[in-house]
Amino acid sequence: MKFTKDHEWVSLDGDIATVGISKHAADALGDVVFVEVPEVGKTVAKGDSFAVVESVKAASDVYAPVSGEVVEANDALSTAPETVNSAPQADGWFAKIKVSDAAELDALMDQAAYDAFLATL
Amino acid sequence: MTDQALKTTPLNAAHRALGARMVGFGGYDMPVQYEGVLAEHRWTREHAGLFDVSHMGQCKITGADATTQFERFVPGDYEILKAGKQKYSLLLNSEGGIIDDLMAGRPDHDGLFVVVNAGNKDEDFAFWEANLEGDAKLTVLDRALIAIQGPEAAQVMAAHEPILAEMGFMECARLMLFGADCYVSRSGYTGEDGYEISVPADQAERVWNTILEDARVKPIGLGARDSLRLEAGLPLHGHDIDPTTSPVEGALTFALSKSRKERADFNGAERILKELADGPSRVRIGLIVKEGAPAREGAEIADADGNVIGKVTSGGPSPTLGKNIAMGYVPPAYAALGAELKVIVRGKTAAAEVVAMPFVAQRYYRKPKTV
């Protein structure tokens, strides 16, 4: 699992990247009440806002950690957005992206680097 | 996260000790949440929530001319307000726009005790300083303000001071509470029964901690304060009402006293009376958003055909209703209860219905009538 400075995570299996928001991000947001996942078939570029997560107080953009085509979205979040709080780095995934350039992951942080990054915040 | 420019309330250390997440609000470093907005919201609706609202402005307006001078800029009848009562009102500019909304009462026999919004208090105080004439005198009070709200608030407070249970909604008093000289009113900003207690700054932490010792009470942050007031249909100044909005547009005509309308002797009376007679060009409404994302401040409101007719001024999920609710402005032709409208959130159009406010029934304590 790798992380961005915007607190998204990405886990690569073959050329399919599962993406979501980190536990740190989910904790910081508080109670998630709504998630807007991307449409299947949509092409996203790394850094694009591709999903929205909403707490009671505010809506926050989620940025694509890698470029590619959305091949699956976690529609279960529409009825159970709280999964983002209870299992942010597992069942609370947002979408699966067929990556167009796996080398993009090289620039992301591994767990140790992300932990070190969080410690600087 | 620490912003040196932010002011602190006398309870800042208490919030940090409770593990609150702090944010800047109205120029103050304030707790947005302790355990979480949803849990705090529900706790307040079911038990009793304790809020630090010391960022709000508190002042006294005193002198023989206090009431007549105060009334020049508000549309409420304070001349006939009895000692022990308070009234919601609006500080109006000469165009009838709402500079601020406020509570003003007579907790004692020394003029009016006034509470105004944090973000506007410097402007309000400067306004009164510049405009009060005769011997009316403004005294800004450096006090903490603590609110306790919820269905168990009255029982909690009665355990400390039985006389508080005898106060009715919108009654106020100056009394010794927890050994401190306090102004207390039975009012609040959640739609629940409860009190707002003005405490000398140096006594605030002790009073706060004493009230919190009761297991029925939990500290509640500004996050839940906002979702609670939204459910109660109460406008937030700077968002739902502002200096361009009139009381008629803001659906706050209850704050226009009959006698004052007849006398037409307050700031902006011309516009306000004209709007009462002819109807305003826009009016604040409540919406239930029937699908999709919460519609928040800035989201457009459209008619059934998709033509934009107004904007949402605040909105979000209602934890009590389990639905997304919003307030906003539309022309009166679209404001009928049950009208089917649309909201546009991030380019997506969703069905919405005009509903009565409050969204969640208010549970203020009304004293049994005695003749």
- Give the residue extent of every domain in chain A: 2-119
- Evaluate whether the domain defined by A2-119 bears CATH number 2.40.50.100: yes
pTM, two decimals, is 0.94
User: Considering only CB atoms, which chain B residues are within 8 Å of A56?
Assistant: 37-38, 41, 223-224, 227, 316-317, 319
Tens-digit pLDDT profile for residues B284-320: 999 999 999 999 999 999 999 999 999 999 999 999 9
C-alpha B151: how far from chain center = 18
Nearest to A30 among B36, B226, B294 (CB): B36
Check CB contact of B33 with chain A, cutoff 8 Å: yes
Residues of chain B above pLDDT 70, percent: 98
Three-state secondary structure call for residue B306 = coil
Binding residues of B for substrate: 196
Nearest to A33 among B32, B33, B317 (CB): B317
Residues of A in contact with B227 (CB under 8 A): 56-57
Q: Does B293 touch chain A (CB under 8 A)?
A: yes
Tokens of A39: 């449409």
For B:170-199, CB contacts with A below 8 A are none
Helix, strand, coil percentages (3-state) for chain A, rounded to 5, are 25, 35, 40
**Whole-number percent of chain A with pLDDT over 90:** 97
Q: What is the pLDDT of residue B369?
A: 77
Mean pLDDT of B164-190: 97
CB pairs under 8 A between A and B: 42
Q: What superfamily would CATH give domain B281-355?
A: Aminomethyltransferase beta-barrel domains (2.40.30.110)
pLDDT at B4: 61
Which residue is closest to B294 within chain A, CA to CA?
A: A34
Rounded CA separation B272/A120 (Å): 54
Could you tell me the pLDDT band of residue B203, with boundaries at 50, 70 and 90? very high
Contact flag B293-A58 (C-beta cutoff 8 Å): no
Mean pLDDT of B1-13: 82
Beta carbons of A31 and B316 less than 8 Å apart: no
Best residue of A24, A27, A29, A31 to probe chain B, by most B CBs closer than 10 Å? A31
With an 8 Å Cβ cutoff, are A56 and B32 in contact? no
Residue B1: predicted pLDDT: 45
B227 interfacial to chain A (CB closer than 8 Å): yes
CA distance A4 to chain B (A): 20
Measured between beta carbons, the chain A residues lying within 8 angstroms of B41 are 56
Averaged pLDDT for residues A78-96: 97
Q: Which residue of A has its CA nearest to B323?
A: A33
Contact state of A59 with B223 under an 8 Å Cβ cutoff = no
In chain B, which residue's Cα lies nearest the Cα of A35?
B293
pLDDT one-digit tens code per residue, B314-368: 999 999 999 999 999 999 999 999 999 999 999 999 999 999 999 999 999 998 8
For the record, the structure tokens of B308 come out as 């934009």
0.90 surpassed by complex ipTM? no
| Residue B75 forms contact with A (CB below 8 Å) | no
Q: Helix B204-212 crosses helix B153-160 at what angle (to 10 degrees)? A: 120
Q: Spell out the residues 6+ positions from residue B322 whose beta carbon is closer than 8 angstroms to its own.
A: none
Rounded to whole angstroms, the Cα distance separating B118 from B115 reads: 9
Does residue A10 register a pLDDT over 60? yes
Paired residues of B314 in beta bridges: B327
3-state class percentages of chain B: helix first, strand second, coil last, to nearest 5: 25, 35, 40
Average pLDDT rounded to a whole number, residues A49-77: 96
d(CA B44, CA B225): 9
Looking at CATH, the fold of the domain delimited by B3-56+142-231 is given as Gyrase A; domain 2 (3.30.1360)
To the nearest 10°, report the CA torsion of A25, B14, B160, B199: -110
Please name the residues in contact with B289: beta carbons below 8 A apart, sequence gap of 6 or more.
Answer: B295, B315, B323, B324, B325, B326, B343, B350, B351, B352
- Partners of B37 on chain A (C-beta within 8 Å) are 30-31, 55-57
- Average pLDDT of the segment spanning B26-42: 95
Q: How far apart are CA B324 and CA B319, in angstroms?
A: 9
Q: Residue B270: CB partners within 8 Å, gap ≥ 6?
A: B96, B264
Q: Are B28 and B10 in contact (CB under 8 A)?
A: no
| Domain residue limits, chain B | 3-56+142-231, 281-355
The answer to whether the CB atoms of A58 and B296 lie below 8 A apart is yes
Residues B137 and B112: beta-carbon distance below 8 Å: no
Q: Token match 């947005």: residue? A: B32
Whether the ω angle into residue B235 lies within 30 degrees of 0, i.e. cis, is no
Query: Is some CB atom of chain A closer than 8 A to the CB atom of B316?
Result: yes
The answer to whether B248 and B280 are in contact (CB under 8 A) is yes
Angle, CA A34 vertex, CA B330 and CA B351 arms, to 5°? 35
The A-side interface with B (CB below 8 A) comprises 30-31, 33-34, 36, 52, 54-59
* B229 in A contact zone (CB under 8 Å): no
CB contact under 8 A, B36 and A57: no
Average pLDDT over residues A42-66: 95
